[in-house]
Amino acid sequence: MFDFEELLSIAYKKERAQSRRLSKGASISAREALVKTLEKAAGGQSLGDLVHARRLAHARAHEAAQAREASRAKPRLRAHHRGSPHEHGAWLAWFDGSAMPNPGRIAIGAVLRSPHGETLEISAAAGHGDSSKAEYLALISVLEAALDRRAEKLVIYGDSRVVIDDVKGVAGAAVLAAHAALARRLIGELGEVHLHWIPRVRNSIADALSRRPFLPGAP
């Protein structure tokens, strides 16, 4: 069940106006009117599907804005960024997922680096789904690899705010709940794990690995 504020946050301006008119004209609550308006906008989708799709769209728009800002500030970042303060003595990881089209075929990419510099690259097709599922599977794969190697301290970077916020409990989508639960369980088994969002321009290696399975001749 979605609360009124959450539905308001994903509704378009025109839909909010329509729901206010419906509430007044039909003498129903503002929430009920907004639900009816959004269900009509969803068409053949469920209300949950519409909410999830709008969340993804909002998150991607935010990520794109952050990436543009990071791109403009790139020289400054190169000069001054020293990474997370948690990196000392830690295993480092980067993850990314791709969908082609979205939804469609998905693939994952990740890098895991030990404190001594040994590096593991992960690149694999992962079936079908959307980009958020691909991002989650990439995160899970690098968590499993870190667990296999008994990493005691892990700092993970990814460019999906949807997945990172979801794992941290900031937001949640029912369709991703099983992946979120598995990721949290793995994090709990590892112990000290720090998860950070970075702009896409700073996640280029994991991004390239996630796109490798789509290249001609890839297995």
The CATH architecture annotation of domain 86-214 reads 2-Layer Sandwich (3.30)
| 8 A C-beta contact, residue 158 and residue 139 | yes
Q: What is the mean pLDDT of residues 41-57?
A: 79
| 8 A C-beta contact, residue 170 and residue 132 | no
Q: What is the mean pLDDT of residues 78-92?
A: 68
Q: Is the pLDDT of residue 55 over 50?
A: yes
Neighbours of 141 (CB within 10 A): 21
Please give the pLDDT value at position 6.
74
- For β-strands 192-197 and 91-100, DSSP reports them as unpaired
Say whether 116 sits in a helix, a strand or coil.
Answer: coil
Per-residue pLDDT tens digits for 124-179: 999 999 999 999 999 999 999 999 999 999 999 999 999 999 998 876 678 889 99
How would residue 1 be classed by pLDDT, with cut points 50, 70 and 90?
low
Whether pTM exceeds 0.85:
no
Domain with CATH 3.30.420.10 in the chain: 86-214
Instruction: Give the best-scoring range by mean pLDDT among 50-64, 107-121, 164-178.
Output: 107-121
| Angle at 159 (CA atoms; ends 207, 89), nearest 5 degrees | 90
- For β-strands 91-100 and 104-113, DSSP reports them as antiparallel
Comparing 3-7, 10-14, 22-26, 144-148, the range with the smallest average pLDDT is 3-7
Please give the pLDDT value at position 73.
43
